[in-house]
Structure 1
Amino acid sequence: MDRLAPTRARTFAGPAADASTATGRRYRATMFLAVATCVLVPAYTIRWHLGPLPTTILENAILLTFAAFVLESIRESVRPIWHTRVTLPALAFLIAGAISVFVAPDHRAAAGLYRAYFVEPIGFGLVLVNAVTTPRRALLIAVGLALGSVVAGLANSAVVVNALLHHAYDVVQTPPVVIYNTANAVALYLVPLVAFAGAVMLHWPGRIERTVAGAFVAVGVVCVLLSFSRGGYLALAAVAIGLALSHRFRWLLLGAGVVAAAGLLIVPVLRRRIETEINFSDPHNTLVGRSHLWDAALQMLRDHPIFGAGLSGFATAIAPYWNATHPDRFTYPHNIVLNFWTETGLLGVVAFAAILGATFARAWRGWRNSDVYWRTVHLGVLLALLAVVVHGLVDVPYFKNDLSLEFWALLSLTFAVGAGSLSSAHAAAATQTSSPSKTAAP
């Protein structure tokens, strides 16, 4: 962990000490709007136009949050912190995305994706790095994301259960959906939040917080199971193992996890859904289709190795390499490495790998060295990113409005001002420019 100046070291003493510092009282309006934005993340599907420009509820919430951040920074005479260990990789990622706009066959569509998947979520993450000054504020951001995910998850689960009860859905087929376009999107969004909540459930000192987190884990797991996303199941298993290993009763928890998994396999619809994935002769096996798609994507990348296909360009670029009679058409190659390679080129792959590496390293050090509050936050981020990577082996864990914002929001928590990610020079400067206040922030 980066060393802090003595004036800043108090932020590691827990929420009570955080609230007593000037930094713990900053950016109140920004935090309120940031939490509201997190709640509204699934509402990116609600779109309209402002003149010729398309926009969404989520985009407007992000802009309001950023405006509040700028105004409060000016009012409180605070110089925002922007330099962390992830700053340079993030800049390289932005550059890779900008290049991909010009490489893409449809520049207008690519520019829209660049704004939604790169500029806005990274900007939102930068705001959170400065505004999340206490572990409780980090928890509030996670709560906001969780509330939005519960609405989406329960709505989708209700549709699936209704279809099962009326025998209108065969579990080997694509599940019915609501809000999102695919049921996999539910699991992609939910599992990282289940991971974060699981860390709170096992390690946060407060009983109320642990209870609420446990309730969310229970609801989230049910929603993931009813999404019938096999990639989601895989990510959920990885998270469960990580949570068990983080606890002193790890062997007991691992044993309980094995028993729970065995119990779930007794459920006919779940067993049948999983059996199709381990039977490579089953026509509904998606891994076989994925392997063919990956082969075609690699063939395409051999011809476009540096820049890939550009943002939104995969469907066009893959056409000469993909069986024209194949019933499926894909906008992404459904693998985390191939996704970034085709969309952002080699620079994007390297930049995103550096972002993951820096965040994993920071979160691991935070988990090992911080106080009980912040170490829980760091563990939550660590396991959330594990879920992203594992699910990304067979899916698209980033290139959606909700997933990109969730990624940068969670990542920002481990680099937040209050988490001690600043150098001592930055910490001292931030403390000297702080303004007094009589009211403690959460």
Structure 2
Amino acid sequence: MTLVLTVLAVLLSWKNPRYLLPLLILALPLEISREWFPHLTLLDKLGEFVGVIYFGRIFTLAVIAYYIIRLMWTDDKEWGVSENARNSLINYIKSPLILTLTVYLIWGAFSIVWSVDKTKTMVGVARLGLLWVLGAAVYDLVKRKDGDFWVPIAFAAISTGLAGIGAFEMVSKHFIWKSEIYQLSGRINATFLDANIYARFLIIGCLATIILMLGAPLKAKFAGGFALLLQLLALVGTGSRTGWLAMLIVSIALAFLIPKRPVIITVLSGIVLGMAAVLLNPGIFARLLEIKQNFGSALTERSYLITAGVEMFRGHPLWGVGLGGFQKVMLTKYAALIQNNVSLSHTALITTAAELGMIGLGILTAFMAFLYKRIPRAFRLQRTAQYQGIIPKMTYRTIFVILAVTAILISAQGEGRFFEDPYLWILIGYGAAIRNFEEVS
């Protein structure tokens, strides 16, 4: 029954493409849906590349399939390359951020030559390739289907709904799944497999909510304030220390980038409320004390993975052990260091250094440099809009993208997923699309 409803949702969104982006942003957090779908034996035989089927993956493939069909279907309803879609793809590729990610993908594919685990490298390249196409699909949808409006709205609304689930878990102590992992520690995970990824999504939702409140009517600001309070409460309940750190950093940056009184008051109020909530929750407060006692534990509780990763980098400083090769080296050369059967890197910078060496780190540095290069331009457009007495909505949305990607980078130092995160590609595709809208707005 669940599979039938999922297929219907996909077909309806294909018929009304303006809903594709909001439904994609809704689908990805529903990791609990892997419990709704039975294991499909035929697909499981394909191994790790497919893994467990769930709603987020199904909808990601649906969005990609829709985009490919649009790319190959002309305006005259015939098979061939659509001129509009082709131009959209060219403009997507020309974006500096996308060019950098493309170079990363190519370097990762080239690493198969020396990779210690060629199968993992091929799987990693295939996943990154699909995400690259997903970014192109997001770019195209934003350009054609009012996505500049739908993306922040979807992040804010869905984050609020998931925050409500988290708040229910905090109050009732009833978890809808994975209670055996989080209930004893007092942490919440809502529909997510991992509380840290839940925290990451909440941060993106908080940023989207604040951005939408700027210039909104008074009633909308009150509604946004309530949503933000709920999101921050749930963020505290995740117990994600890297999530808290990320939220603190992007909040301060937001108050600096948009120096408006409502933003500053909102940020300061959120910090105060978050601190109060931490102090009132013994389990969460204990995790806060761990940061003070051992700052390294805030970044990762598995320091042996960092030690091994640094050694991998020292052994292969230029090109690394190959994309996806970290775990195999960990299970062989550094097997004696493993604790609790955890052999996957949980620190994105270490993963990149170990697997793709200095060249991989250079690509990551270039990516962040191109991202932050947009800040001065955002300042200029913001000042111009103020002189003209208009609300620079596109500039605010650009700042939202910059800070949301920053939050993903920070949280990835504790959870490990950065380039592999679909939210990153949604945000980058969205940011590349609205870049051309900024001056017009």
Shorter-normalised TM range: 0.7 to 0.9
Structure 2 residue 73 is matched with structure 1 residue 64: no
- Contact 1:41–1:148 (Cα < 8 Å) also in 2: no
Structure 2 residue 334 is matched with structure 1 residue 321: yes
Letter in 1 for 2:294: F
CA 1:89–1:168: 2 relative to 1, 3 Å: closer
- Contact 1:175–1:183 (Cα < 8 Å) also in 2: yes
CA distance in 1, matches of 2:143, 2:116: 43
- Contact 2:167–2:234 (Cα < 8 Å) also in 1: yes
Per-residue CA distance 1:346-367 (angstroms, 9 max, x = gap): 3332223222221222255235
**Other structure's SS at 2:416 match:** coil
CA distance in 2, matches of 1:73, 1:417: 25
Number of positions where the alignment pairs a residue of Structure 1 with one of Structure 2: 388
User: Among the aligned pairs, what percent are the same residue?
Assistant: 17
CA distance in 1, matches of 2:323, 2:164: 32
**Other structure's SS at 2:193 match:** coil
- Contact 1:336–1:393 (Cα < 8 Å) also in 2: yes
Letter in 2 for 1:115: A
Which residue of the partner structure matches residue 260 of structure 1?
A: 273
Q: 1:127 aligns with which of 137, 149, 156?
A: 137
Structure 2 residue 366 is matched with structure 1 residue 379: no
Which residue of the partner structure matches residue 350 of structure 1?
A: 362
- Contact 1:101–1:114 (Cα < 8 Å) also in 2: no
Structure 2 residue 318 is matched with structure 1 residue 306: yes
Structure 2 residue 126 is matched with structure 1 residue 115: yes
Structure 2 residue 108 is matched with structure 1 residue 97: yes
Which residue of the partner structure matches residue 253 of structure 2?
A: 242
Structure 2 residue 378 is matched with structure 1 residue 366: yes
Per-residue CA distance 1:240-267 (angstroms, 9 max, x = gap): 2223332322665565455334423431
Q: 2:353 aligns with which of 341, 346, 370?
A: 341
- Contact 2:120–2:325 (Cα < 8 Å) also in 1: no
Per-residue CA distance 1:94-148 (angstroms, 9 max, x = gap): 10221345554444444333333x1222222223333323895223123334555
Which residue of the partner structure matches residue 24 of structure 1?
A: none
Letter in 1 for 2:293: N
CA distance in 2, matches of 1:168, 1:380: 35
Shift of 1:158: 4.3
CA distance in 1, matches of 2:259, 2:207: 14
CA distance in 2, matches of 1:69, 1:185: 32
CA 1:317–1:224: 2 relative to 1, 3 Å: same
Letter in 2 for 1:342: A
CA 1:342–1:376: 2 relative to 1, 3 Å: same
Letter in 2 for 1:124: L
**Other structure's SS at 2:29 match:** helix
- Contact 1:362–1:414 (Cα < 8 Å) also in 2: no
Worse overlay, 352-361 or 243-252: 243-252
- CA RMSD between the two structures: 3.9
Which residue of the partner structure matches residue 5 of structure 2?
A: none
CA distance in 1, matches of 2:75, 2:248: 46
CA 1:73–1:344: 2 relative to 1, 3 Å: farther
Which residue of the partner structure matches residue 225 of structure 1?
A: 236
Which residue of the partner structure matches residue 8 of structure 1?
A: none
CA distance in 2, matches of 1:209, 1:413: 24
Which residue of the partner structure matches residue 344 of structure 2?
A: 331
Letter in 2 for 1:353: T
Shift of 1:233: 0.8
Per-residue CA distance 1:144-188 (angstroms, 9 max, x = gap): 3455555655545544554489x9989894846564332112112
CA distance in 2, matches of 1:208, 1:411: 31
CA distance in 2, matches of 1:193, 1:248: 20
TM-score by length of 2: 0.73
**Other structure's SS at 2:373 match:** helix
Letter in 2 for 1:275: L
CA distance in 2, matches of 1:135, 1:32: 9
CA distance in 2, matches of 1:316, 1:357: 31
Which residue of the partner structure matches residue 143 of structure 1?
A: 153
User: Which runs of no fewer than 5 residues in structure 1 stay unpaired?
Assistant: 1-26, 428-442
Shift of 1:380: 0.9
Higher relative CO (Cα under 8 Å, sequence separation at least 6) belongs to: 1
CA 1:122–1:169: 2 relative to 1, 3 Å: closer
**Other structure's SS at 1:330 match:** coil
- Contact 2:291–2:297 (Cα < 8 Å) also in 1: yes
Worse overlay, 147-156 or 218-227: 147-156
Q: 1:183 aligns with which of 195, 198, 221?
A: 195
